[in-house]
Amino acid sequence: MPEAQETAVYTHGHHESVLRSHTWRTAANSAAYLLGVLKPHMRILDIGCGPGTITADLAALVPEGRVTGADRAPAILDRARSTAEARGLGNVDFAVADVHALDFPDDTFCVVHAHQVLQHVGDPVAALREMHRVTRPGGYIAVRDADYAAMTWYPALPGLDDWLDLYEAVARANGGEPDAGRRLRAWALAAGLTDVTATSSTWTFATPEERAWWSGLWADRTVESDYADRAVRGGHATPERLRTTAAAWRDWGRREDAWFGVLHGEILCRKAA
């Protein structure tokens, strides 16, 4: 197996405002493009599983199979185990892993899945090669990532334009690529994958409840999370700028006509049999 490579810093960290978003994610709202190929017996690797909500959903969909949730942060795996245990799932296990150097033999999994991961890694092409390596012949590599520059909202508030510019600067300084969604197909082809189906899907936040939730978690993340600390330590923003940006998020969330769309790129790659 290859040696581990430098992995980009995970920009967000695991502050409560980040986990508020991650625990909302389900297989239905975050991996719908994959669900049609799942079979009850499959063995799945869920890379970057975080608190394990998608992992648990996948395990429920393969009752005769098994799902391994993997993450670089050991502490978050405790949260993922609790998620699986609360749902009574006995076909899930968890492992600390780096997508650049997975500690699994060749041809192990029927599906290797990664949601919102490649935007945060140091070498996404190498990561895809590694995902391909541990996928069984005839199996699938499934990847979905947001594309920050393609996010759009109404009304047009200068404070949110400033948020986007700042987030992209911080993410790139950490070694990631925040506009990953549009690059997934290109990265897959560069990794030597040949049977690649590229699609896209969105999250939309428009109801009063959705606006309050989305604006609140981003307002909190902007001033309290690891992202906020890295923005200041890296010289990208002052605490005052972060507070102004957080206020812009809360202003947006209070507007009755507000709407926010998050575009995601997706690839479903079949490994040659």
140: which DSSP letter? E
Alpha helices per DSSP H over the chain: 16-22, 27-30, 32-35, 53-61, 74-86, 124-133, 158-173, 184-190, 208-224, 226-233, 239-254
CA 66 – CA 21 distance, rounded (Å) = 25
Q: What is the pTM of this model?
A: 0.93
Of the two residues 243 and 227, the one the predictor is more confident about is 243
What is the tens place of the pLDDT at every residue in 56-77? 999 999 999 999 999 998 989 9
Amino acid at 95: A
What is the tens place of the pLDDT at every residue in 105-130? 999 999 999 999 999 999 999 999 99
On average, the pLDDT of the chain sits at: 93
What is the tens place of the pLDDT at every residue in 129-143? 999 999 999 999 999
Tokens representing 236 are 């990208």
What is the tens place of the pLDDT at every residue in 186-221? 999 999 999 999 999 999 999 999 999 999 999 999
pLDDT of 266 reads 98
pLDDT of 1 reads 39
What's the pLDDT band for 3 if we cut at 50, 70, 90? very low
For residue 9, pLDDT over 70 is answered with no
What's the pLDDT band for 15 if we cut at 50, 70, 90? low
For residue 157, pLDDT over 80 is answered with yes
CA 141 – CA 46 distance, rounded (Å) = 10
CA 177 – CA 21 distance, rounded (Å) = 20
For residue 16, pLDDT over 90 is answered with no
The alpha carbon of residue 181 and the mean position of all alpha carbons in its chain are separated, in whole angstroms, by: 11
The alpha carbon of residue 185 and the mean position of all alpha carbons in its chain are separated, in whole angstroms, by: 16
pLDDT of 101 reads 94
Characterize 7-17 residue by residue with b for buried, 16 or more Cβ atoms within 10 angstroms of its Cβ, and e for exposed.
bbbbbbbbbeb
23: which DSSP letter? T
For residue 43, the cross-strand partners are 66
Q: What is the 3-state secondary structure (H, E, C) of 63-76?
A: CCCEEEEEECCHHH
Q: Give the percent of the chain with pLDDT over 90.
A: 87
